[in-house]
Every structure is written in C-alpha cells, then in structure tokens.
Structure 1
C-alpha cells in the first residue's frame, strides 16, 4: 500500500525548496548537530527517544557514495537541487501513470521521497566514496555470492547472501533507506533501547546498563551493541562481535556498489551517535571500521524525522521457503539447456 510522504522538515541548511541559497554557504560542510534541545526524560530518568522514526523520507535519490562531479561537497547547489527535484517528481509520477494505464509495476512497488540537498550519505572520506579494500578484503569480496551478481550460477545455499535468505540485511546496511520497508521504531525500558526495523522484521537490542560486550567468540549477524547516554541528548552505541559471512553491507541504497561485494570480518566495529536535536528530529551518525576489509574507516550521516503514523507491516520475505530451491533448479536447467545447444 502506498502512503503519502510528508514534506521534509529538516533545516534549511540541508533541504531547499527552490529559494535562493545564502551566497556565503559552505557546501563542503554539514552543520554540527545542535546541543540546545533538551529531550523529555523517561520515568526512569533517561532521554526519551521512543516513537516512530521511519527513514522513508530519505529515499529521495541521495546516493550512498558521492558522484565524482561533486568533489568534496556535502551539499548540492540550488540548480543541482532543482534538477534532482525534477527527477524525483518524474519518478513519483510513475504511480499515477500506472494507475491510468491499468498496470502495476515499479511505480507501485518503489517509494520515492522528496529530494534533499545531500550529495551522499557518506561524509568521510571527504570524497564521499567507500575506502579501497585491503588485499584480504578484495579476496573476500571476490568470493562472495548473491542474487545481485549478474550471470552467477546457483548450486548451493552458499551462492546466496543473508538478505537473499531473508535472514538479515546486516549492518550498517539496515540503517540506510531502501525503496521500501523503511520503518524504524524506538522502544525503551530501564537499561535497554530497542530499534525495530521493518526490513527483515529485525530488532536491535542495545543495553544501556553499563554491561560488557558478550565474549568475542560469539558472533551475531547484527553484532553485539552497547549504548551509553552522553551529554543530555545523545545516545552513543558501540557494536562489535559481527559474524562473518555472506551478509550485505550496503546493497540496495542508491549509489551502493552494484553487486553484493562488501564483506564483514570479526574485526569490524561500528560506533553510532543518535543526537536528538528537536522533538521530531534525530541526527544519526556512525563510523564503520574493519581493518581486515577496508584500508580506512568510513562515516555516514542521515537526518531522521518522527512520524507516528507510519505503519510497520509483516515482512513476508518468501512464503513457503521455496525461492532458494527455485533459483538452484532454474540455474541448473538453464546451464543444461545451454550445454545441450552447444553440443548440437
């Protein structure tokens, strides 16, 4: 079911509606999160972040990695913003076009939000690109398999990533927008923050009671997270204990690598900051480091908006659990047919 997207309510420094830009604005910098806002407190005395924080409003064609023509600029110029807005408007028109023609396709399937001024979600390195792989990272990447890889044969479940198998989209991928299933909801209880994610119906459990990480030998798809309340409006979260495997780090978000080729090692570490800068805004930032895979850490930033009306529905990934088998049998049949044709 399609829902109407509310207009973004982010600051004018990030979102433009076609008006004149301040001439002195530095397009290479994002404003630092404000510390002025004092969130309400829960009954047990922690900042109250509870509520709906879907990231569907971020699915407005902002890429994960920055196109090279923008250089080190974090923000679009006025003309560039207007161009993106026109492109998004054309994409949004697909829904109506399909209705008028009596068809149902990508216009009904993919949700597109209003344009924004960000040139990329990645903020560091300065060029907005994912860092280069290490030699080991490249080896692991080359060994990965996924339905996102064009022309790849399928023979066993090892040829599918964790998202293919409806297990997880992984981290940090799950914190980025996709074309659908962008629901996020935060729950809190004394000593615990939980983030419910619509995609793959996962819930991140983040203890804030000062407890230590679980033993390093225990790996988990979403890692082991531990949170600390800092200042008066920020939750800092450190996540370790990632489970290596065919997990998708950033597939799906506009501007991601075209194939599922970004591995995760046991050395990976993610540090996140949830800054509540107003009653309806959280500035979300993180830094990802994995020295076995990447030559340097990388960081990203997204602006969340509260939406208590967003409904999270069941994530029915593959009823009957038959798709893996179907991929394998179809792939084998296709190859057998090709081989028979070559032998004639």
Structure 2
C-alpha cells in the first residue's frame, strides 16, 4: 500500500558504528551510567538568520536511526537507556545480517525486502521512549482501549475489509499522524527544515506532509478546528532551542499509526481532541539536533510519555516522490479481495 520512489542503494549505513549522535558515541560508558542519557549541551551557538533567529535550515533525515532501535524497551533492559557493550555487539551483528539482504538479492537476481527496507548502523539506545522510566508506552485508559479496539487498519491481522472506514489514515495515504511522523520508518525518512521571518516549516518525505510552525506569537485557532498533524505554535528559547507546542489534533478511531520498530503489534493507537505535544529541537552542534517531545492525551493514556531522538544533518540527502498507491485503486482492491476471500463475491475461474 505504501509504495514509494526509493533511493538506490536503499541500505544507508552510517559511517560510525555507534551512530545516533555524538552524545551517544561512547562505547566505553560505564555500566552504572546506562540508565541516563547525556543532557543536551547549551554550549553550541548556531548561526543566526538575517532576521535574528537561530538558523536550523537544512536537511535532517532520520534514516541513520533506522538501526533496529525499538520504540518500546524490551523488559529485560529494565530502566536502562543504553545497551551494554555485549548487547550492542549483538544488535550490530543483527543489523549487518539485515544489510546483507540487498547484496544477497542482487547476487541471486531477486528483489524483496532487502530492496525495500533501509537499514542504518546500530546504536546503543534501548528504546526511543525515555519516559516512563521503563521505556514503554503507558497503559490505555478504558476509553483509550475502546477507541483502539474500534480502529481498523491493514496492520491488523485477519481483519475483513468492507468500506473505507476499515483503513487508517496512513493506509489511505492521507497522513501518518502525530507523533508517528517524527519517528523513523523503514523508508522515506527525509526531514527538511525551512525558515522565514516568524515561520518554521518541517517537510517530511513520508506522505509529503509539511508542518507549518508560526514563531511570531500569533493566537491559537479555535479548538474545534482539528488537523491531522495538529496546530503548532513555536517559540525560541535561549540561543539554540526551538520549543513547539501542538494541539488541535483531529480525533477519530483511525487517527494515527506509530508503525516504527517496536510499536504495538496492531499499531492501533488512537488520538483524542485533548492530545497535546510539546517538542524541543535543541541544536547542540553544527550538524546535530537533540529532538525530544512529550505526548499527553488523558483520554487515551493513563499518563504522558516522552521520547528522544538524535538528528544528524545530511544536506546530500535527496527527498524523492512518495507515490503511495498509484491510481488510487488499492482500497478497492483490498475490499474486493477480502470479500472474495470470505466467499461474498465469486472469484473468476482461470
């Protein structure tokens, strides 16, 4: 369903074996420090735009984060934010095996997942989620569970398809939603930041959406107006941090789908009208941003949760067309195939 115009070669290995940001490239970190991520430094002073704001413009793809780090932490890692050296070595070996799929398919004259999925170098993070302390999504509220159970998606196993209501917004090539759009996926990880006086725009390769973030202090729009990506307002803090608060998310049973490694298997994560997201884009070097956010949705989750990712500038990265489902026929094909499978419509004889 999510076909795209892919880069070749697809496998984009980072140069450093411990990619994920210079702040984490410390293979010798002591065992007792593995529960703590280094705090972002305030020492770096980015260049300023002609109108006097920190200059974050450029290409900041997150494909280097696609090295099998899960959204949620495995139980055996407890409250540890970082892998031990032995655990990292095991992950690096797994990533190396995944990387070989491309060459193996080429040598055998086939094309499969190796040509489809991008894999980057391993890093030492145990999960992208940093809070709660166990690195896992909080439990759903009773209403959150009800909304999740009502969601329909191609990710769900064994689900029949009869109408467009049986597909989530990503299936329908509308939006990956929030906060999902800010996480790496197995392809289309391009991010590009544009700025003009009073405006920051973040272009995302997945679904070709662009987040428009006013930084000029304008008033919020009415709460009854909902958007797939919400309505954002930004403010500059100190000399190197952009703080973005986003509300006005479009609620519904098919509102978002996290879909990154380690997401809940069904990927059915609803969003309510009360959801609120606070992000911090903290530039700590000329080519590094520490990106952190906290997601609050009291209708869906029993408590807020937070995540952190280390962005790296790569101005050579090219954003290609995201074609999704060409011809707009896939929803119909899913429905017809599902009905035929259930014997509701006859299948033409060969």
TM-score relative to the length of structure 1: 0.95
Offset, 1:2: 1.9
- Alpha-carbon distance between aligned partners in 1 of 2:33 and 2:247, rounded to the nearest angstrom: 35
How is 1:301-320 mapped onto 2 (pairs within 5 angstroms)? 301-320=308-327
- Alpha-carbon distance between aligned partners in 2 of 1:114 and 1:50, rounded to the nearest angstrom: 25
- Alpha-carbon distance between aligned partners in 1 of 2:15 and 2:319, rounded to the nearest angstrom: 20
Q: Which residue of 2 aligns with 1:208?
A: 215
Q: Is the 8 A contact 1:121 1:300 kept in 2?
A: yes
How is 1:211-250 mapped onto 2 (pairs within 5 angstroms)? 211-247=218-254, 249-250=256-257
Q: 1:47 aligns with which of 49, 54, 62?
A: 54
Q: Which residue of 2 aligns with 1:115?
A: 122
How is 1:1-344 mapped onto 2 (pairs within 5 angstroms)? 1-3=8-10, 4-8=12-16, 14-15=24-25, 21-23=28-30, 25-247=32-254, 249-336=256-343
Q: Is the 8 A contact 2:79 2:133 kept in 1?
A: yes
- Alpha-carbon distance between aligned partners in 2 of 1:253 and 1:112, rounded to the nearest angstrom: 13
- Alpha-carbon distance between aligned partners in 2 of 1:15 and 1:318, rounded to the nearest angstrom: 39
- Alpha-carbon distance between aligned partners in 2 of 1:290 and 1:76, rounded to the nearest angstrom: 30
Q: Which moved more, 1:248-257 or 1:304-313?
A: 248-257
- Alpha-carbon distance between aligned partners in 1 of 2:346 and 2:76, rounded to the nearest angstrom: 45
Higher relative contact order (CA 8 A, sep 6+): 2
Gaps of 5+ in 1: none
Q: What root-mean-square deviation, in Å, do the aligned CA atoms of Structure 1 and Structure 2 show?
A: 1.7
Q: Is the 8 A contact 1:271 1:286 kept in 2?
A: yes
Q: Deviations over 1:1-52 (max 9, x none)?
A: 2254332465565235xx5x24365100001100000000000000000000
Q: Which residue of 1 aligns with 2:3?
A: none
Offset, 1:266: 0.1
Question: 3-state SS of the aligned residue for 1:326?
Answer: helix
TM-score relative to the length of structure 2: 0.93
- Alpha-carbon distance between aligned partners in 2 of 1:10 and 1:177, rounded to the nearest angstrom: 12
Gaps of 5+ in 2: 1-7
Q: Is the 8 A contact 1:168 1:247 kept in 2?
A: no
Q: 1:226 to 1:178 in 2, by over 3 A?
A: same
Q: 1:221 to 1:10 in 2, by over 3 A?
A: closer
Question: 3-state SS of the aligned residue for 2:343?
Answer: helix
Q: Is the 8 A contact 2:169 2:256 kept in 1?
A: no
Question: 3-state SS of the aligned residue for 2:342?
Answer: helix
Question: 3-state SS of the aligned residue for 1:104?
Answer: coil
Q: Is the 8 A contact 1:144 1:260 kept in 2?
A: no
Question: 3-state SS of the aligned residue for 1:320?
Answer: helix
- Alpha-carbon distance between aligned partners in 1 of 2:253 and 2:206, rounded to the nearest angstrom: 17
Runs of at least 4 residues of structure 1 off by over 6 A? 337-340
Aligned length: 337
- Alpha-carbon distance between aligned partners in 2 of 1:180 and 1:66, rounded to the nearest angstrom: 22
